[in-house]
Amino acid sequence: MKKQTYDLEEKLLEYSVRIIKIVKQLSNTRTGNHIASQLLRSGTSPYPNHGEAQATESPRDFIHKLRIKLPT
């Protein structure tokens, strides 16, 4: 049996693309634009955040990068 690989970066990219497609379908009203803006920001941020965390140089730097992304 072939071993499946799980590529988180690829999954996050696919997720971001799906979010963008959903946002494009929302109505062009004040409410729709507000929801679209929030959904777009929150739904597409995991991909670059993951890339940033993967580019760290030490475990301490990794923790620092992840803490920056935590909501306060």
Domain ranges of the chain: 8-69
- Whole-prediction pTM: 0.74
Residue closest to 9 by CA, chosen among 49, 39, 57, 37: 49
Q: What is the pLDDT of residue 43?
A: 94
Residue listed under structure tokens 């993951």: 50
Q: What is the pLDDT along the chain (72 residues), one digit of tens a residue?
A: 667 677 889 999 999 999 999 999 999 999 999 999 999 999 999 898 888 888 888 988 888 877 776 665
